[in-house]
Structure 1
């Protein structure tokens, strides 16, 4: 490696995300082995406004770069200067991606092997409080001047890299980082490869944590290791920033994808991670509500809302809510007009529902209201106690999800040899969770999509007798929500 060329590089940019960054300054120091042989530095006109906060950090403003060359004018020099050299930088993915994007805008592919002095430092100089360039240089007595300018930062990085070369006499660490199958070049600067290698290749959830161990992202995966690594190959600005702020990765295996989904929802509710967008707020739901009109008739109505209020039933689509209203009308001979199925009519007219005349004065209000009350009670009584059985984390166990009296209780894992005949038998193994809009939706989608899920129903909360396990569930079976709880309903074909 004594004859190997290294191009130590630092760039300053306009900011604005990895894809919106434009160069304002570049410095390249060329080394052969550990010896400096050349240097190139230049301001760059980014062809866009430089934000004030960037000027405050770097001292580079619009006036300073007004007469500087644009990147296409120095691109050939940069390409030739770094040709046959290994691209070295402190937090290399940032500088490398910015430079590669500049070449891409010109229609050229820029590819170099790369080394990160943050990752090398963590390996060769372990145990430091911080590996940011300024604090790292202070820790090991490397002079650094003209901070946050390309030449000043590059000069300090050169001294750091020379120090790292001296600590790696046989180049074993550097060679391992350059190995074609090594993840070192693609991993964020603060993640040790041992963390990645220890991740399981099975279903579960993973948590990205910052320097203070605060959860900043929660995700679920069928293959935890594969999914985690995929974040670091993504070139989106959000994924890049996530990588920059991640210092620790935790995980929990679940065996079951359903349990992983439920656990992910719980982690997002509990930690409210800054990089998660989905599931932070409940989406709109459709509610069946009841009220008494001016004639004293008890009416049912459908409303869309983002707020959970007391209601007869809660649904995740208008179609499901309307189907339920139509079912109640047919089952209890209610009036479509007074169930929001027809509007702006004096008397109802519905081909499939037999109204008994409340809208035309042929039926007593008290009698009709009694039927509406029975319909409302029928929904309340639909709350069901059941268990979903799924594959566990190994062959000796099963995962289960418990819904009791229509309320999601949580999940757990149980030995395949353990005998259970009542809902209470699952309690010692239960990891109790909070029921939310999102857990309701996850379970509703599961029951709707599964042709034959492993579900065990119990007759009612006080009954200790178990109903025979369901071996085949109609695809028209849905979970609906009543008063914020889950219930099983079979729709007509």
Structure 2
């Protein structure tokens, strides 16, 4: 290892995320073991404007770069000086990915083994307040000048790396970081590998937190460890920046995906993390409403609304709502015209639904038709049942449950399998109450539509006495829920 080549590198860029970053300056110091044997430094014309804030940070402006070589003019030198060398940098993934992208734009695959002096320092010089280059150098008395310029930062990183080499004389730590199966170089600079290794390989939610323990991202996973690590392998600019700001990872196992989804939605609502985009705002819903028209006919219609409100039934996509209206038409022999499935026609002539008994042509009495509509509405109201969804727990001797009361999400909990629970009130002591939101209702609606009813126990709405799941009514409710995916949102 004493004859190993190390290329210590620092780059300055135009900013704009990994994919939009272009090089403005590079410095490469080549070491054999700990001895400096070569050095290359150059400004680089990025062929784009330098933002003011970048000029303010680095001092590099458009005028300085006007006559500088373009990357393709220095690419061969960079490839040669780093050939057969291990790529070393402070926060290596940034410098490496920027340089790799520059080579990729020229049609070349640039690949080197990597070492991160941030992660090496955390391992070999533990306990420091900060491992940013400036503060780290201050802490261990390394001189650093011409800060935020490639040569100045590289010179300081070289001295730091030489110190680290002296602290790892048998190269045990460095070799572990270079091991083909090691994820050390891929992990964010502020996360210890032990923290990743301790993550469970089971369903649940995970929280990425910044230095001040503020939640910056909340996610759910069937396998928490696998999902967390996948963030750090993603080369998207957003994922890279998330990794740079993550200092702590918390998690909570849930036993199954449904509770993980519900808990993720609550964490996003509660913490409003900066890197979560989905679920921050309610989306539009489609609701079935009823009204009497001028003829006195009780008519059904579909409304798109930006927020939940009382209705006969609420859906999270127009096709599902349309499917439900068609189902009601067929099941209760309603008229497509008066269910808003046809417009601008005197008499219904739906291509598929032919069950209308003549309300639109005057052959059916209004009172008789309205009774059928009332029955259809009642069937939807039945779908806002009180029920419990049971599932896997966090360990072998435990099972989970999600409670919905009168169509409204109440929360979830866990029960030892030896506990006897049958009536609704038996679940209350184990319930962890959660707020019902647009997103929790959507999650449950989608679950009922996709999963069906094998693990669902229904309860009477009025008496709240438990009933046998094998009864006809339970099966009817379950079939309606599973087939049509509706979940009423009465408050």
Same-fold call, TM cutoff 0.5: yes
Residue in 1 aligned with 2:181?
181
**What is the CA deviation profile of residues 65-120 of structure 1, one whole-angstrom value per residue up to 9, with x for unaligned ones?**
11111112111211221122221111010001111111222222222221111111
Report which stretch shifted further, 112-121 or 91-100.
112-121
Question: Residues 290, 153 of structure 1: CA spacing in aligned structure 2 closer, same or farther, 3 A cutoff?
Answer: same
Is the CA contact 1:285–1:305 (under 8 Å) kept in the aligned structure 2?
yes
How high is the TM-score relative to the length of structure 2? 0.91
Residue in 1 aligned with 2:143?
143
Cα drift, residue 296 of structure 1: 5.4
Cα drift, residue 208 of structure 1: 1.0
| Equivalent runs, 1:198-347 vs 2, <5 Å | 198-294=198-294, 297-329=297-329, 335-347=335-347
Residue in 1 aligned with 2:102?
102
Q: Aligned partners of 2:30, 2:419: CA distance in 1, in Å?
A: 67
Is the CA contact 2:255–2:393 (under 8 Å) kept in the aligned structure 1?
yes
Cα drift, residue 193 of structure 1: 0.4
Q: Aligned partners of 1:465, 1:304: CA distance in 2, in Å?
A: 36
Is the CA contact 1:311–1:483 (under 8 Å) kept in the aligned structure 2?
yes
Is the CA contact 2:386–2:405 (under 8 Å) kept in the aligned structure 1?
yes
Matched residue of 1:477: which SS?
helix
Cα drift, residue 172 of structure 1: 2.3
RMSD: 2.6
Is the CA contact 2:337–2:360 (under 8 Å) kept in the aligned structure 1?
no
| Equivalent runs, 1:399-478 vs 2, <5 Å | 399-450=400-451, 453-468=454-469, 474=479, 477-478=483-484
Q: Aligned partners of 2:435, 2:347: CA distance in 1, in Å?
A: 45
**What is the CA deviation profile of residues 135-165 of structure 1, one whole-angstrom value per residue up to 9, with x for unaligned ones?**
2222222222111110111111112222222
Cα drift, residue 461 of structure 1: 4.7
Matched residue of 2:303: which SS?
strand
Structure 2 segments unaligned to the other structure (5+ residues): none
Is the CA contact 1:421–1:464 (under 8 Å) kept in the aligned structure 2?
no
Is the CA contact 1:358–1:368 (under 8 Å) kept in the aligned structure 2?
no
Cα drift, residue 27 of structure 1: 0.4
Q: Aligned partners of 1:404, 1:287: CA distance in 2, in Å?
A: 20
Q: Aligned partners of 2:414, 2:462: CA distance in 1, in Å?
A: 21
Residue in 1 aligned with 2:487?
481
Residue 127 in structure 1 maps to residue 133 in structure 2: no
Q: Aligned partners of 1:141, 1:480: CA distance in 2, in Å?
A: 66
Cα drift, residue 355 of structure 1: 4.7
Q: Aligned partners of 1:469, 1:399: CA distance in 2, in Å?
A: 21
**What is the CA deviation profile of residues 275-310 of structure 1, one whole-angstrom value per residue up to 9, with x for unaligned ones?**
122222222221112344455554332111222233
Q: Aligned partners of 2:110, 2:149: CA distance in 1, in Å?
A: 23
Structure 1 segments unaligned to the other structure (5+ residues): 486-493
Cα drift, residue 15 of structure 1: 1.3
Report which stretch shifted further, 328-337 or 452-461.
328-337
Matched residue of 2:17: which SS?
coil
Residue in 2 aligned with 1:35?
35
Q: Aligned partners of 2:383, 2:108: CA distance in 1, in Å?
A: 64
Cα drift, residue 175 of structure 1: 2.1
| Equivalent runs, 1:343-382 vs 2, <5 Å | 343-348=343-348, 352-355=354-357, 357=359, 360=362, 363=365, 372=373, 375-382=376-383
Is the CA contact 1:205–1:218 (under 8 Å) kept in the aligned structure 2?
yes
Cα drift, residue 389 of structure 1: 1.4
**What is the CA deviation profile of residues 360-418 of structure 1, one whole-angstrom value per residue up to 9, with x for unaligned ones?**
49746x77666655554553344211111111122111111111221111211111111
Matched residue of 1:445: which SS?
helix
Question: Residues 211, 461 of structure 1: CA spacing in aligned structure 2 closer, same or farther, 3 A cutoff?
Answer: farther
Is the CA contact 2:407–2:489 (under 8 Å) kept in the aligned structure 1?
no
Cα drift, residue 318 of structure 1: 2.4
